[in-house]
């Protein structure tokens, strides 16, 4: 397989020298200058090679990437260096113990301190000495958090890969100097030019007992066929990328269980990444139930498992920034969703988290046209699932053109399509997700539902990315306590209830493109026991995106029906 270049650290990198917890120094050996943050370790490294270190007075100001001696430096024979060689060998053995905690990670200085504080078994006073040994043996690399030397156009964050547009200049209290930081990955902690970033090589795989998934139901024939193709790609395929193109509600998670079994049985770490926390929580719960003998780690801002070791990691895409060549298999769920497609830095972080010889699966119901062209060009395999696990067709959206509906709702007046939809939900003992384009629209719609239709306040609610109680309200909706949940596109993916209806109020708004509308419609009809759910697009005008979304769904249904008939005929 072709070796991949690290997407975030390619070519020569320049370094802005700052202060902080690491005190960098310079020394000279045989006329060449090196940089170090633990001179005692470097001195021992060179003594074991029969060389003397001469310290330099000058401070390291700017310049190139820290010059580090090559691990391949020749070790001479002779009694004069034997003692130093034995001491260095013991140092390497001690440093290797730290790889259990640090292997496969990409961490800033302060993150290393946080991990070691949580880990508790490694002596903190030895931390930089041991880490320097890992650097000198090639088991780790050290880089600046932000590259700043050269012109402003060359500045970039080496943690997330963002370019000069995300780099901000500030007076830094940490280094007491002019400093640069990245505002694109602030949610993961500040990456800045005066702070070192460490990349730790992953640990080798270890054998373990075979892993078997526990399923509470049987896969359909289409799911089994798709599962076999995924396993074949994992075991035999030369391509490092697979597209799993599955309609919403097709059971794509379960289709990948057998591939997970194969990867985990080799003790090859796996990352299941998704753009949104809601999806991560739901998938992590399903995987924990399916793989009870596997250590499943959930990674998001509030999981409290940031530093846990594990075999199967389920996390938001941002969490990939803390990993380096760690995972043999990276599964990117809802791979076309925000923020992945609008932030190349997140895609680069996912690439860096994958082992050099690792593979990835892109999972989506709505692949962009550019993806289809790319897969054809690279001859990458595509596995499709055109039908849901229960065999029922996807609910086709009903497009309702209603002039003045928005104005009447804002005025608190009767609005026929909204009233008819709510009546349908209540008559069929269902629940409903009502999507609106803006936060202000959602709050107004909640007020209209309570005042115009006299719905109890404890049975309807509004959630958006800004609502602090989103997690609680989504849970109440799943439990059936809430009948109607008004939301922005934040819940277009990942939230599933069995008795669901969907209304898109203002479906002609630009935020609702065809892909988003297909995903939203996919919330309905997932349960075999409840097929009364409907999908309504209410708008002032009918847009091309609305028509395309309906045609995509109709096309999937036609193909699924044709395959079903061919299967019966065979």
Q: Is the CA virtual torsion 452, 457, 458, 462 positive or negative?
A: positive
Boundary residue ending a domain (195, 229, 244): 195
215 falls within a domain: no
Q: What is the pLDDT of residue 464?
A: 83
298 with 253, same domain: the answer is: yes
Q: What is the pLDDT of residue 344?
A: 84
330 with 404, same domain: the answer is: no
Q: What is the pLDDT of residue 516?
A: 92
Inter-helix orientation angle 39-47/127-136, to 10°: 40
Side-chain-side CA neighbours of residue 22 (13 Å):
31
Dist. CA 403–CA 330, nearest whole Å: 47
- Contact assessment for residue 183 and residue 9, using Cβ atoms and an 8 Å cutoff: no
Side-chain-side CA neighbours of residue 311 (13 Å):
22
CA dihedral of residues 335, 203, 295, 228 (deg, nearest 10) = 50
- Contact assessment for residue 211 and residue 293, using Cβ atoms and an 8 Å cutoff: yes
If you write DSSP's letter for every residue of 60-97 in order, what string do you get? --S-BSPP---TT-----SGGGHHHHHHHHHHHHHHHT
Omega cis (within 30) before 221: no
87 with 191, same domain: the answer is: yes
Q: Is the CA virtual torsion 183, 187, 190, 192 positive or negative?
A: negative
361 with 428, same domain: the answer is: no
**Domain span holding position 73:** 25-195
376 with 404, same domain: the answer is: no
157 with 304, same domain: the answer is: no
Q: Is the CA virtual torsion 207, 208, 210, 216 positive or negative?
A: negative
Alpha helices by DSSP H, listed for 340-399, are 344-353, 369-378
- Contact assessment for residue 437 and residue 511, using Cβ atoms and an 8 Å cutoff: yes
245 falls within a domain: yes
Boundary residue ending a domain (337, 362, 385): 385
59 falls within a domain: yes
172 with 283, same domain: the answer is: no
Give the E-state strand segments of 208-254 in sequence order. Answer: 241-246
Dist. CA 107–CA 191, nearest whole Å: 10
403 with 381, same domain: the answer is: no
Pull the structure tokens for residue 527.
Answer: 């349960």
Instruction: Say how many domains are in the chain.
Output: 3
3-class secondary structure, 424: helix
Q: Give the CA distances from residue 536 to residues 401, 413, 491, in Å, rounded to whole numbers and listed in that order.
A: 10, 20, 16
539 falls within a domain: yes
412 with 357, same domain: the answer is: no
336 with 411, same domain: the answer is: no
Closest CA relative to residue 537, chosen from 504, 508, 511: 504
Boundary residue ending a domain (364, 385, 406): 385
- Contact assessment for residue 318 and residue 185, using Cβ atoms and an 8 Å cutoff: yes
| ∠ CA 316-473-528, rounded to 5° | 80
The number of residues in the chain equals 570
- Contact assessment for residue 566 and residue 534, using Cβ atoms and an 8 Å cutoff: no
Q: Is the CA virtual torsion 443, 445, 449, 451 positive or negative?
A: positive
3-class secondary structure, 519: helix
469 with 370, same domain: the answer is: no
Dist. CA 279–CA 281, nearest whole Å: 6
State the CATH number of the domain containing residue 539: 3.40.50.300
Omega cis (within 30) before 339: yes
275 falls within a domain: yes
Phi and psi torsions of 52, nearest 5° = -105, 145
Dist. CA 124–CA 122, nearest whole Å: 6
Could you read off the pLDDT tens digit of each residue along the chain, which spans 570 residues? 444 545 454 433 333 344 446 788 889 999 898 989 999 999 999 999 888 889 887 554 433 456 778 776 666 655 568 888 999 999 999 999 999 889 999 999 999 999 988 988 778 778 899 999 999 999 999 998 998 877 888 888 999 988 888 899 988 887 778 889 999 999 899 998 888 999 999 988 776 778 888 887 788 888 999 999 999 999 987 899 999 999 988 889 999 999 999 999 887 799 999 988 888 988 999 999 999 999 999 999 888 999 999 999 999 999 999 999 999 999 999 888 877 877 888 999 999 999 999 999 999 988 888 888 888 888 889 999 988 888 889 999 999 999 999 999 999 999 999 999 999 999 999 999 999 999 999 999 999 999 999 988 889 999 987 666 888 898 899 999 999 999 998 887 767 889 999 999 999 999 999 999 999 999 999 988 999 999 999 999 999 999 999 999 999 999 888 877 766 544
Give the E-state strand segments of 183-337 in sequence order. Answer: 196-200, 241-246, 270-274, 296-299, 312-316, 327-332
Point out which residues pair with 244 in neighbouring strands: 363, 383
409 falls within a domain: yes
Helix (H) or strand (E) holding 407: helix 405-410
Kindly state the DSSP code that residue 321 receives in the 8-state scheme.
G
106 falls within a domain: yes
29 with 113, same domain: the answer is: yes
Whose tokens are 């030019």? That residue is 193
420 falls within a domain: yes
Q: Which long-range contacts (CB under 8 A, 24 or more apart) does 354-357 make?
A: 354/4, 354/271, 354/325, 354/326, 354/327, 354/330, 355/202, 355/325, 355/326, 355/327, 355/328, 356/3, 356/4, 356/325, 357/1, 357/3, 357/328
């Amino acid at each position: 397989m072709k070796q991949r270049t690290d997407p975030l650290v390619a070519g020569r990198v320049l370094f802005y020298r700052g202060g902080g917890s690491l005190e960098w120094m310079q020394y000279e050996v045989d006329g060449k200058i090196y940089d170090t943050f633990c001179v005692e370790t470097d001195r021992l490294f060179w003594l074991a090679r029969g060389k003397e270190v001469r310290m330099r007075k000058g401070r390291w100001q700017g310049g190139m990437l820290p010059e580090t001696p090559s691990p391949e430096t020749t070790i001479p024979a002779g009694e004069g260096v034997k003692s130093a060689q034995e001491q260095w060998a013991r140092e390497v053995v001690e440093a290797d113990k730290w790889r259990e905690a640090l292997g496969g990670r990409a961490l800033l200085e302060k993150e290393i301190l946080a991990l070691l504080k949580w880990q508790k078994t490694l002596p903190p006073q030895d931390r930089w000495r041991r880490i320097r040994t890992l650097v000198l043996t090639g088991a780790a690399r050290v880089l600046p958090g932000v590259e700043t030397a050269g012109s402003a156009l060359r500045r970039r964050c080496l943690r997330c890969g963002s370019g000069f547009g995300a780099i901000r200049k500030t007076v830094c209290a940490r280094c007491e100097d002019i400093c640069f930081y990245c505002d694109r990955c602030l949610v993961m902690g500040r990456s800045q030019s005066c702070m070192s970033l460490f990349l730790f090589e992953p640990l080798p795989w270890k054998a373990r007992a075979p892993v078997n998934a526990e399923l509470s139901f049987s896969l359909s024939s289409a799911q089994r066929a798709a599962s076999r193709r995924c396993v074949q790609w994992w075991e035999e395929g030369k391509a490092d990328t697979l597209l799993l193109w599955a309609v919403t509600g097709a059971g794509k998670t379960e289709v990948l269980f057998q591939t997970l079994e194969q990867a985990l049985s080799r003790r090859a770490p796996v990352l299941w990444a998704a753009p949104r926390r809601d999806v991560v929580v739901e998938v992590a719960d399903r995987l924990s139930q399916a793989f009870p003998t596997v250590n499943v780690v959930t990674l998001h801002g509030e999981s409290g498992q940031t530093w846990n070791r594990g075999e199967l990691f389920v996390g938001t895409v941002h969490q990939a920034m803390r990993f380096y060549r760690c995972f043999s298999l990276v599964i990117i769920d809802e791979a076309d969703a925000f923020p992945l497609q609008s932030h190349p830095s997140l895609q680069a972080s996912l690439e860096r988290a994958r082992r050099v010889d690792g593979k990835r699966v892109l999972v989506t119901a709505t692949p962009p046209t550019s993806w289809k062209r790319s897969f054809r060009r690279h001859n990458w395999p595509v596995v499709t699932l055109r039908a849901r696990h229960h065999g029922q067709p996807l609910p086709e959206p009903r497009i309702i053109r209603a002039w003045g509906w928005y104005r009447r709702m804002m005025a608190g007046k009767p609005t026929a399509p909204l009233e008819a939809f709510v009546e349908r939900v209540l008559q069929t003992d269902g629940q409903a997700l009502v999507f609106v384009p803006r936060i202000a629209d959602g709050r107004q719609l909640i007020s209209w539902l309570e005042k115009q239709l006299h719905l109890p306040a404890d049975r309807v609610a509004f959630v958006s990315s800004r609502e602090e109680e989103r997690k609680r309200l989504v849970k109440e909706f799943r439990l059936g306590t809430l009948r109607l949940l008004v939301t922005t596109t934040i819940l277009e993916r990942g939230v599933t209830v069995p008795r669901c209806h969907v209304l898109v109020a203002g479906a002609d708004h630009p935020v609702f493109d065809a892909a988003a509308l297909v995903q939203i419609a996919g919330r309905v009809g997932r349960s075999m026991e409840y097929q009364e759910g409907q999908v309504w697009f209410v708008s002032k005008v009918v847009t091309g995106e609305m028509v395309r979304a309906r045609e995509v769904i109709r096309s999937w249904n036609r193909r699924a029906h044709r395959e079903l008939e061919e299967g019966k005929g065979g």
